[in-house]
Every structure is written in C-alpha cells, then in structure tokens.
Amino acid sequence: MDTIPLAARMRPQSLDEVVGQDHLLGQGQPFRSAVEAGRIPSLLLWGPPGSGKTTMARLLAGIGGLRFAQLSAVMDGIKDLRQVLQQAKDMAKMENRGTLLFIDEIHRWNKAQQDALLPHVEDGTVVLVGATTENPGFQIIPPLRSRSWLLTLEPLEVDQLTAVLQRALHDEQRGLGTRKLQVPDDAILAIARYAAGDARRALAVLERIAAGMEESEQITLQAVTDILGRPDLLHDKDGDTHYDIASALIKSLRGSDPDAALYWAARLLEGGEDPMFVARRLVIFASEDIGNADPRALSLSVSTMQGVHLIGMPEARILIGQAVTYLATAPKSNASYKAMDAALAATRQHGPLPVPKHLRNAPTGIAKAQGHGEGYRYPHDFPDHIVAQDYLPPELDGTTFYSPTAHGAEKIIGERMAWIHAQLSDRTDD
C-alpha cells in the first residue's frame, strides 16, 4: 500500500464516505435519490481540482454495476475513444454489462472530438461522466450538454479538508494510522488552508510531511509552515478563476468597498497576472461605473495605466493601489454608459436617419445650393452661448438618452442641464 499515493488510498469507497458536496450527495437530494434508485445518467461534473470528480465517477460505476473506463482529454484522442467504445459494445454483448466512460478534462477536446462521442452517448453505448474545471457553457458542445446532467462541485471548506486529513492520519488500513504520527490540530488546520479546497492536494502535503517523520514522532506547527512555504494561489490566466477574481474586483469597486477591492487586486497581482490587465479594467470601470459623477476618475485611471506600462512590477502595485482605493470610494454613476447604449439602440432601431439640413456641412457651393447649413444658429452669437435649436433627426425629437444622477459632479451637470432648459424655455431668440 505504501507505493500507492495516500490520496488514492483514501479515495472514498461509498457515497457516505464522501466529504462535502452535500448539495448533491446529502440524503434526500434529487441526485442522490436518482443514484440510489439505480438511475445513473450521463453527467458533466464541473468543479475545481480535488473536489471529487473522479471519485464520484468511480462510485457511480460501482453503484450501477457498470464497467469503469477512463480517458484523459489531454492525452487521448479519437483513436483511443474508438477503442474504448468497441470494448463497451463487446462488454454489452458478452456480459450484458454497461460501461461508464469517465473523460477527465473533457473541455480539452475540440468540437470534432466531442461530436464523435455524441452518438454513442445518445444510443447508450456508454454512460458519459465528463469532468471539467472550466465552464461547460463555453467549452462543451450544446448537444452533449443537453444530454447530460450538469452538476457543479464546490471546493471543500477548511473544516471538510480537516476531516479528510484527520481520517487519513488515523486510518490504520488505508491511511497513516499505524505510524502513530503526532500532528497537532493547528498544523492540520494550516495544511487544510494551504490546500485551498483541494482534498487531493491536502493529502499529498500530509504524505510529504509524514515521509520525513519517524514513527510516533510529533511535528510542530512551525515545521509544517516551513515545509508548506509560500502558498500557491492557483491562478490560471486563461481559466475561470481568472475571470471570477476579475469579476470580484469590479463588483467590489462598484460596491464602494476599498478593502475588498484591494484584496482582489492583490490576488490578481500575486497570482502572476499582467498588471496591465488590472490597469485596463480600472480604466473601463472609471467610465462605466463612475462616469461624470467624478470625471477625475477616468484621468487617474488612464494615468495609472500609463504609469504601470512605464515602470512595471513590483512598483506598479503602488499605482494600482492608489487607483483602486480612489475608484472604490468615488461617487458612482452609470448614466453615461446607459446613455451610450440607449443611443446605440436607437441607431439600430431607426437605421441611418438623415442629418437635418441645418446641421450638415457646407464646404462647397453645391452643398450650399442644396441648403446644407442653412438656418444653423451659432450658439456663441446668443446670450449665455446657448440657443434653442433641434439637433436630433425629427424622428427622435424629444428623446432623452442622458439623465445625470444626483451624485458627485454629475449633480452639477444635472443642475446645469436644468438651467439651460429653463433659459431656453423663458426666451425667444430671433
């Protein structure tokens, strides 16, 4: 048993041994009820590493009396799939036994490879259990999604990982129990936190620590901390985690929480993210979510992006920190963003409405003869540099796209617009 990794030895052998995923495997949950009734559907298991996708597939095969076959979308292709499918057909004929085909990292297969699998899922040649760490809505073809039950697995909580580690430490048959190792609770907690929701990772760390201990030896928290070293933030610049953290940053800024915004920005930077990616997100946010409520926000963000480009990390973190705290605490308005989208919607709805003649350019005699520019009223020739005049096509007369809020500098803009409207209503310009 010592030659088999601890994580493999401690793999749950029944649904009741599974730690976590109570929303799927808890008593009375629809999925567990279906499984216990012998109905093993095709599944797409979406979850982070170490959340139990492979374990669940193996358990389902055992519960359903199905032969278990496994492919890796990273290593295996169409040729390997054909071989497994032929074996499944042979097994069905000779032993009247179905096959559960587990495909790890199924999102790595391209459309053609997924298309090749589809008919064999449809005709029941195999029960598919596909495991993916990426959003199936983006990575899995719609026909395959529609024929599978999508289950989302969550990363394990710290207390759940602690339970997994304690079980492995004391289990005398599959775990480390016969060695009587003394690992204090605070050290177990440190390992659980380091594992970041990944049971396989937690067990691998425990095994590595145990390898350097003598029988019945006690290890200290400091020694465990030294072995763990710097935490791996598990950041993948092309994966869901990248976009989830970026989303958390923007939503924290929008929610005016500078501490949360700083944390998520730090997670991106510490995870190895390009600081220019963070800076560009801040520029977009400054216009989309602050806009004219604080026009300085956009200038600060653009300056931050330029500064980050010029100096790079690690000093760029200082600029990003200043920008994040400013944007988080600035007054918020999406009025300009909404106004632009409304104008675009009107453009799409009405098509290319002609420019009113008095607003057209008149660079030539022919244009002037056609009345271009005729009747245009030059605002600087009138009191307060404003004049009553139609600037929209007649079809959009009276349309309002921009409605400033009462926050920050936009309150002043709203007051200015109201004043202009009042001035033009009270006078007649000849």
- Give start-end residues of each CATH 1.20.272.10 domain in the chain: 240-329
pLDDT of 429 reads 60
pLDDT of 370 reads 85
- Give start-end residues of each CATH 3.40.50.300 domain in the chain: 21-152
The model's confidence at residue 98, banded by pLDDT at 50, 70 and 90, is very high
pLDDT of 256-265, one tens digit each?
Answer: 999 999 999 9
- Amino acid, res. 243: Y
Q: Give the burial string for 125-148 (b: 16+ CB within 10 Å, else e).
A: bbbbbbbbbbebeebbbeebbeeb
pLDDT of 26-43, one tens digit each?
Answer: 888 999 999 988 889 999
Q: Quick one: CATH architecture of 356-426?
A: Orthogonal Bundle (1.10)
Q: Is the pLDDT of residue 182 over 80?
A: yes
CATH number of 21-152: 3.40.50.300
Give this prediction's pTM.
0.61
Query: Over the Cα atoms of the chain, what is R_g?
Result: 32
CATH number of 240-329: 1.20.272.10
Q: Quick one: CATH architecture of 158-228?
A: Orthogonal Bundle (1.10)
Handedness of CA 387, 388, 394, 399 (dihedral sign): positive
Q: What is the mean pLDDT of residues 340-355?
A: 91
Q: Could you tell me which of 189, 168, 191, 163 has the C-alpha nearest to residue 178?
A: 168
- Give start-end residues of each CATH 1.10.8.60 domain in the chain: 158-228
Q: What is the mean pLDDT of residues 264-271?
A: 89
pLDDT of 39-86, one tens digit each?
Answer: 899 999 998 888 899 999 999 999 999 999 999 998 999 999 999 999
